[in-house]
Structure 1
């Protein structure tokens, strides 16, 4: 009697066991290469699994019948496919690669980049071309002409200090390629010690930035970024600039060379500016307004992808 009862219970459980199955397969790209760690899901059942480093996946305990399978991965278009479970052989899903378009990104001198649209503080940027188009005596004057909310207090044609919303000196942090330039904060006769011809970008963070830059960035930050070597590998590139201003007879010249190959980068720039005392209709010759500026800068570095 017990044998018949056991056989009867086994017959009752067979249909239940036959109703579940497993979905196995592999995720490949259009070239037949595996797509590691792709997401495989069945939205109707709210079940899924992640593929391994070889693109293989297994989703267990699925009911028999037609099911909608959704496969997605970063950098690929999401694929949807209808299958009928159980399958006679493993499922193969091919994903098509896609290109992602990113928004505008401002590369700052801190440990992360800042996206302008999502930044909690207002950020303004001025390119090197815009700096050179603005007739100016120094880099701060050029930035003040092109960035709203930034002003400059000058004590001569070549000495200017940044002011943001009425605050300046040690309330505005000035950096060159992420390094603090603190020599100009304390004295009226100390200007920004940066070659304006070698700037590639000026970034201005307006508003309190003490958490990111320190306690002296109460009003904001002016970050001056130098030009880095560009162009094809193994080719020496050069740049020659000349400037003349008729007000004070300013004559400026700058010559630069840069070279890069296999991640190795080096650049050298020499600049010279000479201006005489200018005249006005009331005072005539204004003494101690002339200046001479000489700059020599160089850079050697290695730029590669580390940790891969």
Structure 2
């Protein structure tokens, strides 16, 4: 019985190891510097990740088929590569992004002087956030209960 269980466990581990399809890679700019927070997406699966500080990304547990990876980042042209996972278990890719010189301006929208709701109840003063001289933190009722506060 022990032999059957051991054989079954090795079979499951072997299937798990051989079926893990992985795509790793880096996203670099024209100078070879990493691009952090670039979006890497797989078209066919509607799955995406962001690159880390060193421009690296990773996809795991992918199906064995041909996939298209698209990399995008503000100020750069989109970069696209096809990968065939039928024959390989792990791919290492490098995307070299080309700057888009057509980007002339970026607009950021927000409301500078809008006061958040119920701020005066927290601070007990009818002042705008820019006029506050104190640090404001919001904590949950769970933290209050853990601290043993009664009121």
TM-score (norm 1): 0.30
- 1:9 to partner: Cα distance: 4.8
In the other structure, the counterpart of 1:96 is 98
1:39 maps to what in 2? 39
The correspondence of residues 86-235 of structure 1 with structure 2, limited to 5 A, is 86-87=89-90, 90-99=92-101, 100-102=103-105
Indicate the SS of the match to 1:91: strand
Q: Distance in 1 between matches of 2:100 and 2:8?
A: 56
**Secondary structure, in 3 states, of the residue corresponding to 1:44?**
helix
For 1:267-278, list aligned pairs within 5 A.
Answer: none
Output the CA distance in 1 between the equivalents of 2:16 and 2:60: 15
Query: Is it true that 1:74 corresponds to 2:74 in the alignment?
Result: yes
Tell whether the 8 Å contact from 1:22 to 1:60 is kept in structure 2 after alignment: yes
Offset, 1:13: 5.3
Which residue of structure 1 lines up, in the alignment, with residue 10 of structure 2? 10
Partner of 1:242: none
Distance 2:8 2:52 in 1: 42
Does the 8 Å contact 1:22/1:59 carry over to 2?
yes
Work out the CA distance in 2 between the residues paired with 1:40 and 1:102: 24
By relative contact order (CA 8 Å, sep 6+), the higher-ranking structure is 2
Q: How far does residue 2 in structure 1 lie from its aligned partner after superposition? A: 2.3
Partner residue, 1:19: 19
Deviation at 1:102, TM superposition (A): 4.5
Distance in 1, Cα, partners of 2:9 & 2:90: 28
Number of paired residues? 105
Show CA shifts across 1:24-55 (max 9, x none): 11101122121121111112112221111221
8 Å CA contact 1:76, 1:96 repeated in 2: yes
Whole-Å separation in 2 of the counterparts to 1:43 and 1:56: 19
| 3-state secondary structure, aligned to 1:14 | helix
User: Which structure has the greater CA radius of gyration?
Assistant: 1
Q: 1:204: which partner in 2?
A: none
TM-score by length of 2: 0.58
- Which consecutive residues of structure 2, in runs of 5 or more, have no partner in the other structure? 114-151
- What is the CA distance between 1:4 and its match in structure 2? 2.3
- Mapped to 2, the partners of 1:17 and 1:44 lie a distance apart of 24
| Structure with a larger share of its residues in helix | 2
SS of residue paired to 1:18:
helix
Deviation at 1:93? Answer: 0.6
Is this contact kept in 1: 2:30–2:96, CA < 8 A? yes
